[in-house]
Amino acid sequence: MRGSRDLVTTAGRAGLNGRDDGKRAAAVFDALGSGYEKAFAHSEAHHRSLEWLLGRLAPGSRVLDVGSGTGRPTAAALTGAGHEVLGVDVSPVMVELASRQVPEATFRCADVRELPLDEGSFHAVCVYFSLLQMDRGEQAALLGRLARALLPGGSLVLATVPLDVEGVDAVFMGQPVRVTSFAGDDLVEVVAGAGLTVLAEENVLFTPDHPEAVPEPHLFLYCGRE
């Protein structure tokens, strides 16, 4: 899941069922399609984080976009600046939209948890709201893999909804989801444990452009692999 507290809690805590969460995420974002892009297009914090990342990248850098969605704004901004982008998303609909909207990038329909990642193969990694339907152990393990996939001196931008919730059933833009996240300070510890240094962070309150949306907290972490 990429956004989230529109999170109207419906059923308290519930157990996760293996990788079924990946199938649920695919179904949610297949249903949302281009509506997701419209709902989040006006996020100034997202655009600021991309400006920070672009300022750190050498020409022709390789970037992994985890949960690439429709390809905009992330992949579009990066390819527009001349970088090589691999976008990964579990939603076939999102991958089709992104491939059409940002043909300069490469998009793959896959669960990033199962994607082979060579050590030191990317100059930067983007993780915008794409961990929220994984359990905490999977989030921590994936962040470790993503950190190792960075070249020394590489950068990672992570955005999430900083809530102390685990396996909570909710509604996001009219779609049923199951959400797990960390409180902000706890996420910083997880990121540090993955081998990354948090260079800056930004907390904002954001309201998606959707009739069922409510204001939700967003946390952006600007990280580096020293």
14: confidence class by pLDDT, cuts 50, 70, 90: very low
**Rounded CA separation 142/188 (Å):** 15
**Rounded CA separation 181/124 (Å):** 23
How confident is the model over 98-147, as pLDDT tens digits?
A: 999 999 999 999 999 999 999 999 999 999 999 999 999 999 999 999 99
Q: What would the two tokens of residue 128 be? A: 């915008």
SS3 72: coil
Instruction: Give domain limits for the chain.
Output: 8-224
- The reply to whether the predicted model has a pTM over 0.75 is yes
* Confidence check: pLDDT of 9 > 90: no
SS3 173: coil
For the beta carbon of residue 79, count every other beta carbon within 10 angstroms. Answer: 19
Task: Report the topology of domain 8-224.
Answer: Rossmann fold (3.40.50)
Please name the residue that has the structure tokens 């692999």.
Answer: 225
CA distances, 54 to each of 43, 68, 142, 179 (Å): 17, 17, 23, 30
Radius of gyration of the chain (CA): 16
How confident is the model over 62-110, as pLDDT tens digits?
A: 999 999 999 999 999 999 999 999 999 999 999 999 999 999 999 999 9
